[in-house]
C-alpha cells in the first residue's frame, strides 16, 4: 500500500461541490428506513408513554444533527483521533463503575449535570471505529497472531460493560468483532476455532462471570423451549419435576440449606433469587402474550389491552416491540421487519460501494451492530432468546441509544462524502 494512499487527503473540491458530495452521502436507502423506524418508535411511544414523546423527539433531532455533523467531518480525520476517543470511553466505563447511578440493579448510568448517559452505548460506536482504524491496512488478521490486538481492543470495554453488569450490550460486541474481522479477510477456520474455544469456556463463565439474575434469565429461556419441544413431540412425560426445576435446584437448594440454619441473610438471598426468577418468567410470558394479543391486524392505536394495563414491564424501552406488535398486529410486525431489512440492505450497499477499507469496515460494523441488536431484541420479545437489557435501535426510548445509533449511521455514510483518491484496486483479500 502506498504512503500517498495512507496520507491522502482526498480530492480537492470546491465548497459547493463538497456540499453536493455531502448531500449525496446522505443516502436515502439508509436514512429513509432509519427515519421510518424512528417515526414508528415515536408513534408507539405516543400510545404507551405520551409523556416521553417530546424527550424522544428531542433526542431524535439531536441524533440527526449529530449524524449530519458526522457526515460532514472527514472520517479519516476522525479515525486519526479514535485512539484518544477510545481511551476516553474506557475511562468513562471505569468511571461508571465507580460513580455510576444504579438503575434496576445495574450500574450503567453516568450523571453529567442534569444529563445522564450510558457510556456502554458510546462504547459500541468506539469499538466499531477503533477496529476499523486498526484493521484497515493490515493483512495480519489472516494469522492467529494478528487476531490478538483486535480481540484485546474489544475485550477491554466488554469486560468493563459485563462488570456493570450489562450482559446484553457486552454480547453485542462479539458479532461486531467477528464480522469485521471476517469481512477484513480473517480466515474462517481461525474464527471458528475461537468461537469453539469460547463455547468451551461457557461453563467457566457461567460460574464466574454471570450474576444470579442473569443465570435465571438464561434458564428461564432454555427451560420453556425444551418444554415446548416436548409438547410438540406429543410426548407427555411425567412432570413431577419439570425441566425448569433441575438447573434451579442447585442454587435454590444451597440457599435453602443455608436458610435451614436460620441464617437470615441466606433466607433473604433465596427470596431474592426466587423473585428474580419470577420476574424473568413473568417478563417473558407477558411479552409473548402481548405480541400474540395483536392478532393479524392489531388492536389499533391505544387499544391494546396489555399495553393499556401496563402488563409488560419496560414496554417503552427494551420491550417497545410488544406495544407495536399488539397495536398493529402481524401486518405491523411485517412492516417493521421490512424496515429493518431495508436498513441492513442500505448499509450493505454502502459497504459494497465504498472502496476504502476503513470506510467499508465502518459500514460493515454498523450493519452488524444494528442487525444483531435488532435480532436479539425482537427474538427476546417473541420468546426465542433470553431476556437481556438491550434496546431496539431507533425505536426504544432512550437518549444514549438514539444518539449512538445516529452517530454510527453517520460514520457508515461518511465515506460517501469524502471519497479518497484510490491508487489501487486492492481489496481486503
Binding site for other proteins (CB under 8 A): 179, 182-183, 185, 231, 239-242, 244-245, 248-249, 252-253, 256, 259-260, 262, 267, 270, 274, 277-278, 281, 285, 288-296, 303, 305-306, 325, 329-330, 333-334, 337, 340-341, 344-345, 348, 351-352, 360, 364, 367-368, 371, 374-375, 378-379, 382-384, 427-429
Helix (H) or strand (E) holding 109: strand 106-112
| C-beta closer to other proteins: residue 200 or 296 | 296
Angle between helices 264-293 and 320-353 (to 10 degrees): 80
| Closest separation in Å from C-beta 228 to other proteins | 10
| C-beta closer to other proteins: residue 4 or 231 | 231
Q: Strand pairing of 101-103 and 115-117?
A: unpaired
Q: Can you read off the three cell numbers belonging to residue 323? A: 406495544
| Closest separation in Å from C-beta 10 to other proteins | 22
CA 138 to chain centre: 27
| C-beta closer to other proteins: residue 64 or 306 | 306
Taking phi first (over 0 means left), then psi (-120 to 50 degrees means alpha), and beta for anything else, what does residue 240 get?
Answer: alpha
Q: Can you read off the three cell numbers belonging to residue 84? A: 484518544
| C-beta closer to other proteins: residue 105 or 256 | 256
| Closest separation in Å from C-beta 349 to other proteins | 9
Q: Helix, strand, or coil here: 423?
A: coil
| Closest separation in Å from C-beta 268 to other proteins | 12
Instruction: Give me the helices (H) in 261-398, please.
Output: 264-293, 305-308, 320-353, 357-381
Q: How many Cβ atoms sit within 10 Å of the Cβ of residue 64?
A: 18
Q: Can you read off the three cell numbers belonging to residue 295? A: 392478532
| Closest separation in Å from C-beta 260 to other proteins | 6
| C-beta closer to other proteins: residue 17 or 275 | 275
| C-beta closer to other proteins: residue 107 or 244 | 244
| Closest separation in Å from C-beta 72 to other proteins | 26
Measure the CA–CA gap between 113 and 115, rounded to whole angstroms: 5
| Closest separation in Å from C-beta 429 to other proteins | 4
| C-beta closer to other proteins: residue 108 or 283 | 283
Q: Can you read off the three cell numbers belonging to residue 38? A: 424512528
Measure the CA–CA gap between 82 and 8, rounded to whole angstroms: 18
| C-beta closer to other proteins: residue 42 or 288 | 288
- Rounded alpha-carbon distances, angstroms, from residue 292 to 324, 332, 347, 371: 11, 13, 31, 24
Nearest to 6 by CA among 351, 356, 418, 416: 356
| Closest separation in Å from C-beta 170 to other proteins | 20
Amino acid at each position: 500500500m502506498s504512503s500517498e494512499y495512507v496520507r491522502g487527503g482526498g480530492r480537492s473540491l470546491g465548497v459547493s461541490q463538497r456540499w453536493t458530495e455531502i448531500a449525496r452521502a446522505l443516502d436515502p436507502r439508509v436514512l429513509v428506513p432509519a427515519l421510518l423506524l424512528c417515526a414508528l418508535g415515536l408513534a408507539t411511544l405516543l400510545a404507551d408513554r405520551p409523556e416521553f414523546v417530546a424527550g424522544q423527539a428531542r433526542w431524535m433531532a439531536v441524533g440527526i444533527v449529530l449524524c449530519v455533523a458526522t457526515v460532514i467531518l472527514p472520517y479519516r480525520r476522525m479515525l486519526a483521533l479514535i485512539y484518544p476517543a477510545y481511551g476516553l470511553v474506557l475511562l468513562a466505563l471505569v468511571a461508571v463503575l465507580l460513580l455510576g447511578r444504579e438503575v434496576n440493579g445495574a450500574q450503567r448510568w453516568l450523571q453529567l449535570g442534569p444529563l445522564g448517559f450510558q457510556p456502554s452505548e458510546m462504547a459500541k460506536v468506539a469499538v466499531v471505529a477503533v477496529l476499523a482504524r486498526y484493521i484497515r491496512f493490515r493483512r495480519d488478521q489472516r494469522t492467529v497472531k494478528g487476531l490478538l490486538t483486535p480481540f484485546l481492543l474489544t475485550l477491554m470495554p466488554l469486560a468493563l460493560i459485563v462488570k456493570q453488569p450489562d450482559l446484553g450490550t457486552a454480547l453485542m460486541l462479539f458479532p461486531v468483532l467477528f464480522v469485521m474481522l471476517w469481512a477484513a479477510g480473517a480466515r474462517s477456520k481461525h474464527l471458528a476455532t475461537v468461537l469453539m474455544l469460547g463455547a468451551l469456556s461457557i461453563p467457566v463463565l457461567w460460574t464466574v462471570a454471570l450474576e444470579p439474575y442473569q443465570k435465571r434469565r438464561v434458564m428461564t429461556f432454555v427451560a420453556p423451549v425444551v418444554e415446548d419441544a416436548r409438547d410438540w413431540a406429543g410426548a407427555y412425560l411425567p412432570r413431577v419435576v419439570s425441566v425448569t426445576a433441575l438447573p434451579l435446584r442447585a442454587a435454590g437448594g444451597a440457599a435453602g440449606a443455608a436458610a435451614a440454619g436460620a441464617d437470615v441473610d441466606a433466607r433473604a438471598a433465596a427470596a431474592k433469587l426466587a423473585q428474580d426468577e419470577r420476574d424473568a418468567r413473568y417478563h417473558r410470558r407477558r411479552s409473548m402474550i402481548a405480541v400474540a394479543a395483536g392478532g393479524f391486524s392489531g388492536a389499533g392505536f391505544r387499544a391494546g389491552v396489555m399495553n393499556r394495563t401496563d402488563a409488560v414491564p419496560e414496554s417503552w424501552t427494551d420491550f417497545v416491540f410488544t406495544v407495536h406488535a399488539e397495536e398493529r398486529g402481524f401486518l405491523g410486525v411485517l412492516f417493521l421487519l421490512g424496515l429493518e431489512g431495508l436498513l441492513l440492505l442500505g448499509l450493505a450497499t454502502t459497504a459494497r460501494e465504498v472502496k476504502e477499507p476503513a470506510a467499508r469496515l465502518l459500514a460493515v460494523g454498523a450493519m452488524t451492530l444494528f442487525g444483531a441488536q435488532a435480532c436479539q431484541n425482537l427474538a427476546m420479545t417473541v420468546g426465542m432468546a433470553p431476556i437481556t437489557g438491550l434496546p431496539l435501535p431507533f425505536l426504544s426510548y432512550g437518549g444514549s441509544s438514539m444518539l449512538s445509533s445516529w452517530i454510527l449511521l453517520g460514520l457508515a455514510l461518511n465515506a460517501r462524502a469524502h471519497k479518497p483518491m484510490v491508487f489501487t484496486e486492492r481489496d481486503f483479500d
